[in-house]
Structure 1
Amino acid sequence: MIKTTNLTKRFGDLTAVDSLSLDIGPGEIFGFIGPNGAGKSTTMKILACLMEPDAGSAHVGGFDVSRDGDQIRRILGYMPDFLGVYDDLTVDEYLQFFAAAFQIPRARRRAIIDGVLELTDLTGKRRALVDSLSRGMQQRLGVARVLVHEPKVLLLDEPASGLDPRARIEMRSLLQELGRMGKCLMVSSHILSELAEMCTSIGIIERGRLLYAGSIEDAYAKVRGGERIAIRLEPGSSPDSALATLEHDHRIARATRENGQIVVELTPGEHGHHFVLELLMNANHRIAAFTPQAVRLEDAFLKLTRGALQ
């Protein structure tokens, strides 16, 4: 549904997007990760036909962003990082306005608006003024707005920005439901933990360059060499003997004693961590606690980007 090939955008001497190549399919929730100024919003504006690329190509639903803007706007919903609201409109009037802007026939508008209000859990706020809504509700209203013309592709720029924990959970559930409906979602954020729980794939961008694109599982696998395991032995067991058992295995990068525990760091690979437990048990070491320290998305981000642009 979204495909870019060597997409490039410059502003004077600044290359905001640098030879970006992506391929995102239907039903995919693609998390676009990067710090402020990395090129996330610029990429989305190009895909939304709000900005022309300087080089490369971008297609949405098979249509070229440089030539087929009208066709793309019919199948795409774009929610910018700052959602403008109309203070004197109710929620229903707000959605009616955008339904009219998309030239949706009057006979169909009520059913469509009822549907998006139910999907975004705003049915009870239909008659409320937009500016009376909480930040979380306004963000959900923004999603409702981009759904009124029933797009197949959604570009959501920082949809969870400024939300409290409850509103973040509600937004995450909404976006997951849209993915289950078969829509293609591109969601930008610097809140990495939110993306880990929501997205089916991620792309990491920094200074306009794509440093990684793929599944979250593959991102974890690439940094699994940093996975650590904390092991506590039962009283009477010999830490030195346990270290000797572990130190010659090629899958273990390092094994040390820290704060009364043995801490094991694994080498890169697909071997997981269960073999460490087997090694110790086969050597008759008595284990009181075996605690793998999970790789977080933040750790993957740091390891995948460290030194990449230096």
Structure 2
Amino acid sequence: MLATAPPAIDIRDLRVDYGNFIAVDDLSLTVPKGEVFGLVGPNGAGKTSTFRVITTLMQPTYGEVILDGVDVLEDLESARRIIGYMPDLAPVPSDLKVWEFLEFHADAYGLGSRSQRKERVAECLEAVNLTPQRNNWCKALSRGQTQRVVLAKTLLHRPRVLVLDEPASGLDPLARRDLRNVLRAIAKEGATIFVSSHILSELSEMCTSLCVMNRGKLLASGTVEEVRQQLGNNERGVTIALLRGHEIALDWLGRHEFVHDLRLDGERVSFGFKGTDETQADLIEGLIAAGVRLRSFEERRSSFEDILVGVAESNRLS
């Protein structure tokens, strides 16, 4: 029987206290290898404290963090060889060229001979699409280019786990798209990426799976749709356009247990719907069977921004 490979990230009962304040409250989370995994949550959710423990920058109150089979709290040096950490707004020196900045860090990592270091710098510049800028001064780079230079530095020692804290912060849409494509390519090469962001639409497009934290606790984890289900947010707005059977549709929908806020506007009927995909399919079949002639059916689900706004608003009310 073949042994099961360990997950890339295995967090068990993690607790971080600052005096009487609980920043991370018994967090348990598993991230398989090769994932681009997002960490979402409002300010004060515990994201940064979680990242600081994972990257060996602080000791937790208690708990365990295992990276690719290595216990972070018991074997710091081995863990640090596995990790690539990119903090939010990481600085770069203004008086170095891009290749000088990267070669300095390649030397600090002890990446072989000078020719081997040059080769690795070239590979990382290519990975983040910055080869044409290798001779540019760091101070002349745009915000998006600076972020990619820092990412190239993070990749130099071939980390198996990348921890990226708000990597898209302050980037314009084009730069965010470029960063998203780079991260996807890195994950395809076998690295696991753990990324936090307040730009929720970016995370939902970028990540293969994600989790939501609030007040130090894990609220949901899985794919975007699984997270939506776990947070109980099946609410969607539905608009149907009818050729005939408007009165039948209004009467039938008005008696449906998952339909609310029913409105008629010309040939279009709009309503809120709280059921599952199966019950929505049953609704469509029921309308047709009742004699309603449908021309179109449109739905709008709660966006990820809507979900997090709801989480943040629950903080204010409690």
- TM-score bracket for the superposition, by shorter chain length: over 0.9
Q: 1:188 aligns with which of 189, 196, 208?
A: 196
Q: 2:240 aligns with which of 227, 231, 241?
A: 231
2:105 maps to amino acid:
F
Change in CA separation of 1:56 and 1:191 when aligned onto 2, cut-off 3 Å: same
Tell me the CA shift for residue 246 of structure 1: 2.7
Tell me the CA shift for residue 65 of structure 1: 1.8
| Contact in 2 for aligned 1:212/1:304 (Cα 8 Å) | no
Equivalent residue, structure 1, for 2:76:
69
Tell me the CA shift for residue 306 of structure 1: 6.4
* Percent identity between the two aligned chains: 37
Per the alignment, in what secondary structure is the counterpart of residue 67 of structure 1?
coil
1:126 maps to amino acid:
R
For the residues of structure 1 that align with 2:47 and 2:262, how far apart are their CA atoms? Answer: 41
Q: 1:138 aligns with which of 146, 166, 172?
A: 146
Equivalent residue, structure 2, for 1:200:
208
| Contact in 2 for aligned 1:224/1:269 (Cα 8 Å) | no
**Are 1:254 and 2:260 an aligned pair?**
yes
**Are 1:104 and 2:125 an aligned pair?**
no
Per the alignment, in what secondary structure is the counterpart of residue 225 of structure 1?
coil
| Contact in 2 for aligned 1:273/1:292 (Cα 8 Å) | no
Tell me the CA shift for residue 249 of structure 1: 4.2
Unaligned runs of 5+ in 1: none
Tell me the CA shift for residue 33 of structure 1: 0.5
Equivalent residue, structure 2, for 1:282:
289
For the residues of structure 1 that align with 2:299 and 2:276, how far apart are their CA atoms? Answer: 16
| Contact in 2 for aligned 1:219/1:300 (Cα 8 Å) | no
Per the alignment, in what secondary structure is the counterpart of residue 172 of structure 1?
helix
Equivalent residue, structure 2, for 1:7:
14
Equivalent residue, structure 2, for 1:299:
306
Equivalent residue, structure 1, for 2:3:
none
| Contact in 1 for aligned 2:248/2:291 (Cα 8 Å) | no
1:72-104 CA-to-partner distances (Å, cap 9, x unmatched) read: 111110000121111111110111011111111
Equivalent residue, structure 1, for 2:176:
168
Tell me the CA shift for residue 304 of structure 1: 6.2
Q: 1:83 aligns with which of 83, 90, 99?
A: 90
For the residues of structure 1 that align with 2:302 and 2:278, how far apart are their CA atoms? Answer: 15
- How many pairs are equivalent? 307
**Are 1:269 and 2:246 an aligned pair?**
no
TM-score (norm 2): 0.90
For the residues of structure 2 that align with 1:41 and 1:294, how far apart are their CA atoms? Answer: 29
TM-score (norm 1): 0.92
For the residues of structure 2 that align with 1:183 and 1:258, how far apart are their CA atoms? Answer: 52
Q: What CA RMSD, in Å, does the superposition of the two structures yield over aligned residues?
A: 2.0
Tell me the CA shift for residue 270 of structure 1: 4.2
Q: 1:113 aligns with which of 106, 117, 121?
A: 121
For the residues of structure 2 that align with 1:279 and 1:35, how far apart are their CA atoms? Answer: 41
Tell me the CA shift for residue 243 of structure 1: 1.9
Per the alignment, in what secondary structure is the counterpart of residue 32 of structure 1?
strand
Per the alignment, in what secondary structure is the counterpart of residue 144 of structure 2?
helix
Change in CA separation of 1:244 and 1:167 when aligned onto 2, cut-off 3 Å: same
Question: Equivalences for 1:30-49 in 2 at 5 Å?
Answer: 30-49=37-56
Equivalent residue, structure 2, for 1:220:
228
For the residues of structure 2 that align with 1:212 and 1:258, how far apart are their CA atoms? Answer: 36
| Contact in 1 for aligned 2:93/2:101 (Cα 8 Å) | yes
Per the alignment, in what secondary structure is the counterpart of residue 20 of structure 1?
strand
